[in-house]
Amino acid sequence: MLIYDVPLFQVLSGCAIIVRGQPRGGPPPERQINLSNIRTGALARRAPQSQPDQKDTPDEPYAFQAREFLRKMLIGKEVCFTVEVKTALGREYGMVYLGRDTTGENIAESLVNEGLATVRREGIRGNNPDQARLCDLEDQAKASKKGMWTEGGGTNTVRDLKYIIENPRNFVDSMHQKPVNAVIEHVRDGSVVRALLLPDYYLVTVMLSGVKCPTFKREADGTESPEPFAAEAKFFTESRLLQRDVQIILESCPNQVILGTILHPNGNITELLLKEGFARCVDWSMAVYTQGAEKLRAGEKSAKERKVRIWKDYVAPTANMDQKDRQFVAKVMQVVNADAVVVKLNSGEYKTIHLSSIRPPRIEGENKDKDKRFRPIYDIPYMFEAREFMRKKIIGKKVNVTVDYIRAATSASETSTIPAFAERTCATVTIGGINIAEALVSKGFATVIRYRQDDDQRSSHYDELLAAEARAIKNGKGLHSKKEVPIHRVADISGETQKAKQFLPFLQRAGRSEAVVEYVFSGSRLKLYMPKETCLITFLLAGIECPRGSRNMPGGMQVAEPFSDEAMAFTKELVLQREVEVEVESMDKAGNFIGWLHIEGVNLSVALVENALSKVHFTAERSSYYKTLVSGEEASRLRKDKVSPQFAPCFCLLAFWGHLWKVFTDPPVPEYRRPDPGSRSRIPNEATGLGMI
């Protein structure tokens, strides 16, 4: 007689168990042992779905109680068994003892003693003491009226099993996400189980919320082929949950599939599966996970970093980047539409950063008014609001950038409507602990991109983005609002001479007007948005002459003047997309307005001159800022910096021609009258234009 010492795996009924050996390189083989010399009631069985004429078979009296007696006694413990008989069909009968040897409690005797099993007396041999003891125990149970020997026949012990729930969604909602006591009856794969809900005996299939394990695919011939690590994941769940007492939180029921979280005293199986690399996060069901989606992401991240099991070949999207390139602090210089920013690194380099996993507002269908020039920032609903939200929040400020992934460049094909995109750096941008992408989505100014399940190029805060979008949809914010979309009728009068002439008197009388710098053409030429007037104008800085950049001319490309790029960069960094104040003095013949621009008390014309990026123009003499301009220019000339030394030899000549210009443009000089004798008055030099010669 051979004695086996193995862990118990499953209790099939009151008189049959399944044992497994120790795992070596995979799930161990199973072995069914039937208890000798005793009989217990048969458990309920559901009729085959392919045979609708057959009815479900209910429990026999005390069958479930016998199974539960063994389950609570043996599950998760080591047992010792001996095989007494093995039939021709391979069925094994023997004695099972609790513990590592035959000195432990005899399971068959315990069942008989509790009145949960009957003895097969027809096969009893008189000279076998073990069999004789079973008969004595049965007689004692009868005398004590235990178990099935009580009066009444045990009809009250038959379960009312419910295999089908008519309305699963209402059933789940009725639980109010409160823990329900249950026993795990079957494990289909690592993330799908069959559970018996207590005390009402609902038999339901539960899919773990937020995760998915490798599965077993059913082939055409009826066989099942496991995906990589499917068997290991199933064994991992079985060895921890099968026939254990657990609590289940029923969280949702989309498409008749019950999603839930299984809570065990030793831990949360969902998080363990992720941490050990047996499962991956699933976006569509993670939203209903009640224990904190960040824990699931953390578990998956840990498995990816250790490259265990299903992640053994995983390569992180930013694996080839240095740490300094993955996380850095930068200053926001420009907001591009509503999903990208241009930042200035500490090295002085400019870099375009796209916000990870969000999509800015976009127009549905084609632009109907093809005669009208399409301006995305004003013509796409909520694009202007999204851009303004970001501009006011982060422009000119330092932000924390965490690169999530690099989106490879794509090329447009003739058969595809997808345009070509350059390589894009996608990152999470935060300021003061606020995720800008999440804030945009929560306001309804952007939507979250949905990915394939195996696409890991996504935001590191993807779950927060999904939650923010759900809140925006629920509250009807922005793009999800049922109200009429806001319309921005912005008149662009850049280069429109007649329109500019009509606006000029209003702007002159207004004094200082509020504006936003939309674009910088050069150091002294800008495009402004006037919020009160709802118009776009081209604005030239008064009182200075700035180096010109390269331009396309009828005769070819005009070469840029020295320091033109530096002047434009200075102006961009100081005023681009900032709120400024402008004083309009006049306009040129092309419809461009000329005046002074102030930002936070700084006159941009003066700032350019002081930084030797521009020189004073003679037209500034009539301005109240003339002295400030001249003193700034003098200071920069003394520093011998940039523009000033180059133009210093020409100042006298420029002044001379400037005063001649004034002679011909100023009102006529009054008729000269000879002064009285002895008078020292004379014709002022300004009237002759020779005051500076």
pLDDT in tens, 181-217: 999 999 999 999 999 999 999 999 999 999 999 999 8
Q: Name the fold adopted by 168-311.
A: OB fold (Dihydrolipoamide Acetyltransferase, E2P) (2.40.50)
Query: 355-364, 486-495, 611-620, 641-650: lowest mean pLDDT where?
Result: 641-650
Distance between CA 134 and CA 109 in Å, rounded? 6
pTM, rounded to two decimals:
0.74
**CB count in 10 Å sphere of residue 373:** 9
Secondary structure (DSSP) of 339-363: TEEEEE-TTS-EEEEEETTEE----
Q: Which residues contact 139 (CB under 8 A, 6 or more apart)?
A: none
Which pLDDT does position 188 carry in this prediction? 94
| Beta carbons within 8 Å of 143's beta carbon, 6+ residues apart | none
pLDDT of residue 669: 38
pLDDT at position 563 over 50: yes
- pLDDT for 124 equals 65
Q: How far is CA 235 from CA 166, 220, 241, 312, 566, in A?
A: 32, 25, 10, 19, 67
Fold of 491-639: OB fold (Dihydrolipoamide Acetyltransferase, E2P) (2.40.50)
Q: Is the pLDDT of residue 676 over 60?
A: no
How many Å apart are CA 184 and CA 234, to the nearest integer?
A: 13
State the pairing for strand pair 30-35/92-98. Answer: parallel
The answer, yes or no, to whether residue 655 has pLDDT greater than 80, is: no
Domains 4-156 and 323-362+378-480 share a fold: yes
Q: Among residues 282, 279, 252, 257, which one has the least CA distance to residue 268? A: 279
pLDDT over threshold 60, residue 361: yes
Distance CA 607, CA 628 (A): 10
* CA–CA gap between residue 47 and residue 54 (Å, rounded): 6
Using pLDDT thresholds of 50, 70 and 90, give the confidence band for residue 414. Answer: low
Strands 512-520 and 3-13: unpaired
Instruction: Output the pLDDT for position 554.
Output: 76
Give dist(CA 561, CA 547) in Å, integer: 5
- Dihedral angle of Cα 389, 392, 398, 400, to the nearest 10 degrees: -10
DSSP state of 499: H
So what's the pLDDT on residue 366? Answer: 59
Q: What is the mean pLDDT of residues 41-52?
A: 87
The letter for the amino acid at 494 is S
pLDDT the model gives residue 419: 61
> Are the CB atoms for 255 and 288 separated by under 8 Å?
no
- Which residue is it, tokens 């009924």? 13
Q: What's 577-628 look like in SS3?
A: CCEEEEEEEEECCCCCEEEEEEECCEEHHHHHHHCCCCEECHHHHHCCCHHH
Is the pLDDT score of 367 beyond 70?
Answer: no
Residue 319's pLDDT band, with cuts at 50, 70 and 90, is confident
Long-range contacts of 581-584 (CB under 8 A, 24+ apart): 581/512, 581/513, 581/514, 581/515, 582/512, 582/513, 582/515, 582/528, 582/539, 583/511, 583/512, 583/513, 584/504, 584/507, 584/508, 584/510, 584/513, 584/539
Yes or no: say if 138 and 112 are a contact pair by the CB < 8 Å rule.
yes
CA distances from 153 to 23, 56, 67, 145, 453 (A): 44, 21, 18, 11, 55
CB atoms within 10 A of CB 59: 21
| Closest-CA residue to 451 (of 476, 426, 475, 471) | 426
| Per-residue model confidence (pLDDT) at position 54 | 86
Q: Where are the alpha helices (DSSP H) in 30-186?
A: 63-74, 107-113, 129-144, 168-174
Residue 468: enclosing H or E segment and its boundaries?
helix 462-475
Residue 205: Cβ-neighbour burial (10 angstroms; 0-12, 13-18, 19+): middle
Kindly report each contact of residues 344-348 with a partner whose C-beta sits within 8 Å and lies 24 or more positions away, as own/partner. Answer: 344/573
Angle of helix 462-475 relative to helix 293-306, nearest 10 degrees, comes to: 160
CB 661 within 8 A of CB 692: no
Query: What average pLDDT score do residues 503-514 get?
Result: 90
Query: Of 22-36, 388-402, 603-617, 656-670, which range is least confident?
Result: 656-670
Instruction: Catalogue the E-assigned strands of 617-664.
Output: none
Q: What is the CATH number that goes with domain 323-362+378-480?
A: 2.40.50.90
Which residues are within 8 A (CB) of 514 and not within 5 positions of it... i.e. 6 or more apart? 530, 531, 532, 579, 580, 581
Q: How far apart are CA 312 and CA 250, in angstroms?
A: 32
Which CATH architecture is the domain 4-156 placed in? Beta Barrel (2.40)
Are the C-beta atoms of 383 and 443 separated by less than 8 Å?
no
Q: For the chain, what are the domain ranges? A: 4-156, 168-311, 323-362+378-480, 491-639
- Which has the closest alpha carbon to 642: 616, 618, 617, 611? 611
Asked if residue 681 has pLDDT above 70, the reply is no
Instruction: Of 338-347, 567-576, 633-642, 660-669, give the lowest mean pLDDT range.
Output: 660-669
Least confident of 89-93, 123-127, 573-577: 123-127
Instruction: Answer for the pair 445, 386: CB distance below 8 angstroms, yes or no.
Output: yes
The closest of 527, 524, 595 to 561, measured between CA atoms, is: 524
Is the Cα dihedral 367, 371, 375, 381 positive or negative?
Answer: negative
Rounded CA gap, 47 and 50, in Å? 9
Characterize 67-99 residue by residue with b for buried, 16 or more Cβ atoms within 10 angstroms of its Cβ, and e for exposed. bebbbebbbeeebbbbbeeeeeeeeebbbbbbe
State both tokens at 294: 């960040």
**How far is 20 from 637, CA to CA, in rounded Å?**
91
Backbone angles phi, psi at 112, to 5 degrees: -65, -40
Q: What is the pLDDT of residue 651?
A: 38
Spatial separation of the C-alpha atoms in residues 574 and 331, rounded to whole Å: 12
Q: What is the CA radius of gyration of the chain?
A: 42
Strand pairing report for 434-435 and 350-355 = unpaired
pLDDT at 622 over 90: no
- Tokens 């993670």 belong to residue: 286
Furthest C-alpha separation in the chain:
164
